[in-house]
Structures are given as C-alpha cells and as structure tokens.
Amino acid sequence: MKCVSEMIYLDNNATTMPLPKVVEAMAANLRDGYANPSSVHQFGQSVRHSIECAREQVASLIGAKPREIVFTSGGTESINLAIRGALALHPERRRIVTTSVEHSAVLRLVENLEGEGYTVERVGVDSQGRIDESHWSKALTDDTALATMIHANNETGVVFDVARLADVAVKCGAVVHVDAVQSVGKIPIDVSKAAAQLVSLSAHKFHGPKGIGALYVRRRTRITPLIVGGNQESLLRGGTEHVAGIVGMGVAAEAARCDEVCVDIGRLRDAFEEGVLAAVPFAHVNGCDAQRICNTSNIGFEGISAEAILILLSEAGICASAGAACSSGSLEPSHVLTAMGIDERIAHGAIRFSLSRFTTRQEIERVVETLPKLLARLTVLS
C-alpha cells in the first residue's frame, strides 16, 4: 500500500479526513478533560461545558437551537432513533413513506418495520435520480405516520428539495425525517426555515471523527429513546457521552459552513468530469442533469466491471468506491442506479469519485490522465 501522503483520496462520501484542529481538540479533551460530565465537581462541570459548546456549534451549522441537538453514535443511530422514536408515539398510524434511493441505514430499517406490520410506500426517481414529486404527494395519506427521505444521495450526489417534500408530508400530519448525512457542509441547511422535525447528521462526513453524530429534534416534537439508562441528552440517549467525539464534531461543524470551499470543490468536480468524458467515450455521468452536491461524481464505464476498475485504481494509489454493493462475491448494481433505470452495463461499471476540500487540481489532473490508461488495459482484457 502507498503511504497516505502519496494516495489520491476520492472516497470522501465514505468518510473524510478529520481536520487537524479536530484531532488536536479531541486529543486535548482525552488528555485533560476526562472527568464525567455528569459529575457535580468543577472538573466534571468543565467537561459538561465542552459538550454544551459543541452542541451550540452543531446547532449553529444547521440553524437549530442547541437544545434541539441530541448527540448519538453517528448517522445510523440518529436515523434509527428518529424513525423508531417517532413511530413509537403514533401507534395508530401504520404507514411509512420513503424513497427508493435511501442509504442502507433507512432502507434496512424500513424493511424491518415492514416485517413488523407497517405498510411502506417507496417513491421512485427518474433517470437523473430526481424524485417523482406527484407520486410523493399521492403517497402521503392521512394515515401516514412518518415520511423519511435522503437529502443528498450518497452514491450520485443528487439533491432532493426536502423543504418542499417535507411541507407536503407535514400537512398530512406525518412526522418528517431527513437524512442529511451527505448534505451537511456541502449545501446550506437551515432547519428553522423547513418543516422537517427530525434531521440526521454524522460528523465523519464533514471532517469530524467517526462514531459520533447528532439528531436534530425540532422543539415540541416527541420521540422515544432507543437507548435508556442515565439522564443524558435530555433522556433521549442514555449513557456517558463520547465527549472527545462530541468536541471533535463541534470543531468540525464550525469549520463546515458552506462557502467558497464548496464552489472550488464543484469546479474541480466539473473539470474532472469534463476530462474523463473527453478521454473515455464509453463513460456516462449518472445524475448529471439533476442538482447535485459539489463533490460527487458517479461515472458508469459501460461494459467494464467496477470491481476491476477499483482494483487498478487502488494499485495506482487512487481511492474511490463502486456504485454497487458486493453481495456473495458478485457485484450487484446498486439499488440507486437500478431505481434510476440505468442500463445494467453502465451500472455494473459505476464508480463513485467523491472530492473534498483537500482534493487538489494536480490530483484531479493525475486521475484524468491515469484513468483512461487503466480502462484501456481492461478493455483489451475484456
């Protein structure tokens, strides 16, 4: 394996590099701030103060009030807490509306809920990954307990107009949850201006640490906890807090405001796609006509296996991901690309390149130069 500094890391939708100041703040907390934040002594209370500062930083990133932020172990837990927590308080309603392009955290959970007797309506998307808004509106009936949707798609980067979709759902009396794990820090989010009551976030997607996330719970929205124990997190998540993670998430949140950085990343992504399309005639950018987050490029290389491309990319020190899930040794096309109706030959060769603020123009140029050579080797083989 190449050493980290020699690698070109284009897998930022999987996870991002923690900012140096995040690492420093966490190290300082682990070293000097180890008291239990529930302890009444001054040392404990100073650690409590660090948590509350981080809560303000996270709240401010999404236009929330600090008391509306509940820290969790990450995006997946936030999603489970939001969905199960909201459903538990509406036992008379047994219908869930979601989309066909959710992350597995929502996908698997609603499959389980289906097994528990809920009816689940999955609203489809068009060939660009845009949601069918008229289906969404029709799917939301008066017996809908919960509507849950992804904000920015983790595979294609396609963005849904969650404010509009949430409005429709709230009018039907449904509780609305938004999976904003991939959109935070890439597009501005202001929960105070939207109707969604529950929004999931995860720190490691915006240069914070892994294993820490948050759920925004709008004031007066009632949910039940998944984890009961102590009185932490306003009784919504028992257990001694992961203080270093919370502190790191706060620092990352403060640095994650969408600004010129996103514009620069978007320019690099566009240059990357132009370069690849010019050099590879059988390349297709999935979702290119839809609104997308700035950093994501999902490219299908028709007739070539994504697994083979990834192996050669990895040997060349380039980290990317397949737009497909590996199941029992064979690469199944991803459910997202399948829902978009992407041709199987393109979907099987889909690679997700995801950039970050640390991606440089030189790196993009190197990938644009290297990729066609790797693909040429594979086309000769096939």
Contact call for residue 213 and ligand PLP (CB under 6 A): yes
Residue 380: phi, psi to the nearest 5? Answer: -65, -45
Contacts of residue 371, Cβ cutoff 8 Å, sequence gap at least 6? 276, 279, 280, 313, 318
Stretch that binds ligand PLP, among 51-59, 174-182, 255-263, 271-279 (CB under 6 A): 174-182
Stretch that binds ligand PLP, among 55-63, 179-187, 280-288, 305-313 (CB under 6 A): 179-187
Tokens of 301: 């290389």
Stretch that binds ligand PLP, among 42-50, 70-78, 262-270, 348-356 (CB under 6 A): 70-78
Amino acid at residue number 96: I
Contact call for residue 156 and ligand PLP (CB under 6 A): no
Which element (helix H / strand E) includes 324? strand 324-327
Amino acid at residue number 88: A
Amino acid at residue number 136: W
Q: Pick out residues in 193-212 that bind ligand PLP (CB under 6 A).
A: 202
Contact call for residue 155 and ligand PLP (CB under 6 A): no
Stretch that binds ligand PLP, among 27-35, 176-184, 311-319, 365-373 (CB under 6 A): 176-184
> Minimal CA–CA distance to 214: which of 192, 229, 236?
236
Q: Is 326 a catalytic residue?
A: yes
Contact call for residue 255 and ligand PLP (CB under 6 A): no
Cα 111–183–159 angle (5° rounding)?
75
Count CB neighbours of 106 within 10 A. Answer: 25
Contact call for residue 179 and ligand PLP (CB under 6 A): yes
Q: Pick out residues in 276-295 that bind ligand PLP (CB under 6 A).
A: none
Tell me which of 12, 29, 50, 76 binds ligand PLP, using CB under 6 A.
76
> Minimal CA–CA distance to 366: which of 10, 14, 12?
10
Give least dist CB 16 to ligand PLP, A: 11
> Cα separation of 277 and 270, whole Å?
11
Tell me which of 95, 103, 237, 242 binds ligand PLP, using CB under 6 A.
103
Binding site for ligand PLP (CB under 6 A): 74-76, 103, 105, 150, 154, 179, 181-182, 202, 213
The set of catalytic residues is 326
